[in-house]
């Protein structure tokens, strides 16, 4: 299956290349396929005259160069990709009808790892969550699991995402990332305490992409063939082990190589040292949602103490042959789901289901899903049509449905699952917030060295915040999570512990 699929994709690539007249080697041509006579000297009016507009090779070469860039991703611009394969190893047909999880199924994948905040060629040493996005080319369509290395997120509602990103991006005035702006925002977001604690630990500076775990962060829904659903979280466990850099190591690595994450992955695959990850799931019955004192569909929370089941293994074994065509034009979207996997009601995920597909219509283009890296191995048949750069080969005049002349059939067994609802529409925060507890549990789980590094990393940025109220509020959040954590941070910042304690006492969890 694996080789057939890739043979098919490979053939498709060759056919696409031939269709555009591209050749691996041979005479140099213009884009219309005509041979080029001179690629070194422009056509000029005599030895001293101006260049001529009729030199179509010169004009076309400059025009194409002028248009080489597409917009970079609005977040996660810096990334590196690799091809591979996922093998399903457990029988979980009781939970999901998704074929990608039928035991023994081998599915080609493309993974893109990334940093989040800075631009396309920014240093990979910077503190950030890391993206871990996987596109599964399943027989039932593409499924994208667009996750991060850390298992939670800063916010729980998509409506906050653009503001959060604006505060984290470089200042529109200085073009420099500024902790004054970052913590001005986060001092209004107590639910960020858990994620901030993780990202300021050394997990925020991984040693390599190979030595990173991955997480869905959100709960999704697994739906079985009887239409029953359960909530599921996914975790990629690195078989290379989790390895991080401390601040001193970061400075040392950055001084000699700010591409260390990309270089490590590309080099490992080139020398056939293929990285692998096991995929684990946690499962909750719908009735269990009410039994937690926090909301289990809140993306700022993990599900502690819930057993994990291993469901498969992924290997990455092929570098892209062209970074732009594959890594940059790849379009991962939480909306790319397959029967048996659905979004949960997580408010952050609900926004993501819209946002990625939307940005990609702009970033990659209306027909971006026709590109070899994005197109599914499953046949695509619908009435969506036209748009810029459409290179599908459409043979029928039936671009509507239903039709007797060219039936495109619906399959009622593929309908979405149903969710019982009641009540009225609202604009209210979640009821069970519990903003600080899991941050404290994470802190207490760190060993002495990791705690010291976290305090130093966080104090380094918080110490740059000039506004004393912002600093006090941030310290109170960390104190509320854990008294030792907040006290040590306050000491590092030479703050007033009595004030911090009082501010923490007034916080509601
Ligand atoms: C409502 C919250 C969020 C919104 C609106 C959002 C939006 C976006 C957008 C617009 C992109 C660029 C996509 C592209 O140009 O192809 C992106 C990339 C990405 N996001 Fe988010 N994001 C959110 C939260 C998250 C969370 C919680 C995670 C992790 C679970 C995450 C992981 C990623 C990853 C891994 C990428 C890069 C995918 C790639 O490699 O192409 N994002 N996000």
- CATH 2.40.180.10 range(s) for the chain read 79-370
CB atoms within 10 A of CB 449: 10
Does 154 contact ligand 1 (Cβ within 6 A)? Answer: no
Q: Is the peptide bond before 316 cis (omega within 30 degrees of 0)?
A: no
| Nearest protein Cα to ligand 1, atom 31 | 147
Give the model's pLDDT for residue 22: 52
CB atoms within 10 A of CB 378: 13
User: What are the φ and ψ backbone dihedral angles of 485, each rounded to 5 degrees?
Assistant: -60, -50
CB atoms within 10 A of CB 172: 8
Ligand 1: centre distance to CA 356 (Å): 7
- In three-state secondary structure terms, 475 is helix
**Alpha carbons 73 and 66: distance in angstroms, whole number:** 19
CA angle 70, 72, 75 (to 5 degrees): 155
| Complete DSSP assignment for 419-431 | ----S-------S
Q: Would you tell me which CATH number, out of the four given (3.30.420.40, 2.40.180.10, 3.40.50.970, 3.10.20.440), belongs to the domain 79-370? A: 2.40.180.10
Q: What is the mean pLDDT of residues 83-106?
A: 98
User: What are the φ and ψ backbone dihedral angles of 256, each rounded to 5 degrees?
Assistant: -115, -20
What is the number of helices (H) and of strands (E) in the chain? Answer: 14, 10
Atom nearest to 112 CA in ligand 1: 40
Does 339 contact ligand 1 (Cβ within 6 A)? Answer: no
Give the model's pLDDT for residue 8: 41
How far does Cα 103 stand from its chain's mean position?
26
Q: Which residues are catalytic, by number?
A: 76, 148
* b/e 473-509 (16+ beta carbons within 10 angstroms → b): bbbbbbbbbbeebbbbbbebbebeeeebbebbeebee
Give the model's pLDDT for residue 23: 53
Contact between 10 and 112 (Cβ < 8 Å):
no
Owner of token pair 């893109």: 112
Report in angstroms the alpha-carbon separations of 92 from 98, 142, 281, 283, 310. 9, 19, 10, 11, 10
- In three-state secondary structure terms, 380 is coil
Atom nearest to 153 CA in ligand 1: 27
Does 350 contact ligand 1 (Cβ within 6 A)? Answer: no
CB atoms within 10 A of CB 31: 13
Report in angstroms the alpha-carbon separations of 441 from 195, 302, 329. 12, 11, 40
- Best residue among 72, 74, 131 to mutate for probing ligand 1's pocket (most ligand atoms within 8 Å of CB) is 131
Q: What is the mean pLDDT of residues 399-425?
A: 96
Is the confidence at residue 13, as pLDDT, over 50?
Answer: no
Instruction: Tell me the pLDDT band of 311, cut-offs 50, 70 and 90.
Output: very high
Of the chain, the percentage scoring pLDDT greater than 90 comes to 94
CA angle 244, 276, 220 (to 5 degrees): 85
Atom nearest to 351 CA in ligand 1: 1
Instruction: Tell me the pLDDT band of 509, cut-offs 50, 70 and 90.
Output: confident
Is the confidence at residue 15, as pLDDT, over 60?
Answer: no
β pairing state of 220-223 and 141-148 = unpaired
CB atoms within 10 A of CB 227: 12
Give the model's pLDDT for residue 499: 98
- Best residue among 71, 72, 76 to mutate for probing ligand 1's pocket (most ligand atoms within 8 Å of CB) is 76
How far does Cα 87 stand from its chain's mean position?
21
For the chain, give the mean pLDDT: 95
Give the model's pLDDT for residue 24: 65
Contact between 120 and 83 (Cβ < 8 Å):
no
């Amino acid at each position: 299956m694996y080789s057939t699929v890739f043979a098919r994709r490979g053939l498709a690539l060759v056919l696409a290349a031939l269709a555009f007249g591209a050749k691996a080697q041979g005479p140099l041509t213009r884009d219309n396929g005509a041979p080029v006579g001179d690629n070194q000297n422009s056509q000029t009016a005599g030895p001293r005259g101006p260049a001529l507009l009729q030199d179509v090779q010169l004009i076309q070469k400059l025009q194409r160069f002028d248009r080489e860039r597409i917009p970079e991703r609005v977040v996660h611009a810096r990334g590196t990709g690799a091809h591979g394969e996922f093998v399903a190893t457990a029988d979980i047909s009781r939970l999901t009808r998704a074929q990608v999880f039928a035991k023994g199924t081998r599915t080609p994948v493309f993974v893109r790892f990334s940093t989040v905040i800075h631009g396309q060629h920014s240093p990979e040493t910077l503190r950030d969550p890391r993206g871990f996005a996987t596109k599964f080319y399943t027989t039932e369509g593409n499924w994208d699991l667009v996750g991060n290395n850390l298992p939670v997120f800063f916010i729980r509602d998509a409506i906050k995402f653009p503001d959060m990103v604006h505060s984290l991006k470089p200042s529109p005035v200085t073009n420099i990332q500024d902790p004054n702006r970052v913590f001005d925002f986060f001092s209004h977001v107590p639910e960020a305490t858990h994620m901030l604690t993780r990202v300021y630990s050394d997990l925020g500076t991984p040693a390599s992409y190979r030595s990173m775990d991955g997480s869905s962060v959100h709960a999704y829904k697994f739906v079985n063939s009887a239409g029953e659903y359960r909530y599921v979280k996914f975790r990629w466990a690195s078989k290379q082990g989790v390895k991080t850099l401390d601040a001193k190591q970061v400075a040392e690595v950055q001084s000699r190589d700010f591409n260390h994450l990309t270089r490590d992955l590309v080099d490992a695959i080139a020398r056939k040292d293929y990285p692998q990850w096991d995929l684990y799931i946690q499962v909750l019955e719908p009735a269990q949602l009410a039994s937690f004192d926090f909301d289990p569909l809140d993306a700022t929370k993990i599900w502690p103490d819930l057993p994990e089941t291993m469901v498969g293994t992924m290997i990455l074994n092929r570098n892209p042959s062209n970074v732009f065509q594959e890594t940059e034009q790849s379009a991962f979207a939480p909306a790319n789901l397959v029967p048996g996997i659905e979004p949960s009601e997580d408010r952050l995920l609900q926004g993501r289901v819209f946002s990625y597909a939307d940005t990609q219509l702009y970033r990659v283009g209306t027909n971006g899903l026709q590109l070899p890296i994005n197109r599914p191995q499953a046949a695509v048949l619908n009435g969506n049509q036209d748009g810029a750069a459409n290179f599908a080969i459409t043979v029928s005049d039936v671009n509507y449905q239903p039709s007797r002349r060219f039936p495109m059939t619906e399959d009622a067994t593929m309908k979405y699952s149903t969710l019982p609802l009641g009540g009225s529409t609202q604009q209210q925060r979640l009821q069970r917030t519990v903003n600080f507890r899991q941050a404290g549990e994470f802190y207490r789980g760190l060993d002495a060295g990791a705690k010291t590094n976290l305090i130093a990393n966080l104090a380094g940025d918080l110490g740059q915040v000039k506004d004393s109220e912002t600093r006090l509020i941030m310290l109170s959040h960390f104190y509320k999570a854990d008294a030792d954590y907040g006290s040590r941070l306050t000491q590092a910042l030479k703050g007033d512990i009595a004030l911090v304690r009082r501010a923490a006492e007034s916080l509601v969890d």
